[in-house]
């Protein structure tokens, strides 16, 4: 899956917590997320130079593009995260492991690992088959 298809898949499966997401879909979505955050940060600095930072901390909740990007991408990010866990045959609730010490390292290893080949309890393999069609 390429970058464009991963972003389309992330938005078309906006709140779909079922099924599986291959590694490329997940990591391209992560790249898209952080690129969006970077653009929003630049817009924040350009549009609201006096609001960004610690000068007016209460105003940031209402006017900054970064918050809009974060809210818009929150649910699809969790969704693709859960579907990625399904690809390695783990329940979506395993994301909670990130809140314990060293849980993030375990999660990183899982997210980088290859998904289950073939069918698992969460669906069919999203990776295109490399076997020739007969």
Of 15, 24, 21, the residue nearest 126 (C-alpha): 21
Asked if residue 53 is part of any domain, the answer here is yes
Length reported for the chain: 134
Q: 122 by DSSP, 3-state: which? A: coil
pLDDT digits (tens, 9 = 90+) for 8-61: 988 998 888 988 888 899 999 999 999 999 998 888 878 766 665 555 655 555
Q: What band does 124 get if pLDDT is binned at 50, 70 and 90?
A: confident
Asked if residue 120 is part of any domain, the answer here is no
Total structural domains in the chain? 1
Asked if residue 47 is part of any domain, the answer here is yes
Of 21, 4, 43, the residue nearest 127 (C-alpha): 21
pLDDT digits (tens, 9 = 90+) for 56-105: 655 555 567 888 898 999 999 999 999 999 999 899 888 889 899 999 89
Asked if residue 82 is part of any domain, the answer here is yes
Does the predicted TM-score (pTM) go above 0.85?
no
Buried b (16+ CB within 10 A) or exposed e, 51-84: bbeeeeeeebeeebbbeebeeebeebbebbbbbb
Asked if residue 123 is part of any domain, the answer here is no
The range of the structural domain enclosing residue 46 comes to 3-112
């Amino acid at each position: 899956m390429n970058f464009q298809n991963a972003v389309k898949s992330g938005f078309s499966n906006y709140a779909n917590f079922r099924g599986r997401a291959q590694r490329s879909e997940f990591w391209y979505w992560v790249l898209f997320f952080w690129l969006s955050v970077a653009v929003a940060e630049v817009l924040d600095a350009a549009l609201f130079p006096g609001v960004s930072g610690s000068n007016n901390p209460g105003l940031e909740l209402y006017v900054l593009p970064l918050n809009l990007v974060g809210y818009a991408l929150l649910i699809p990010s969790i969704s693709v995260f859960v579907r990625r866990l399904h690809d390695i045959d783990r329940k979506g609730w395993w994301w909670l492991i990130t809140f314990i010490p060293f849980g993030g390292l375990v999660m990183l290893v899982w997210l980088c690992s290859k998904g289950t080949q073939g069918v698992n309890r969460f669906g069919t393999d999203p990776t295109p088959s490399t076997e020739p069609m007969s």
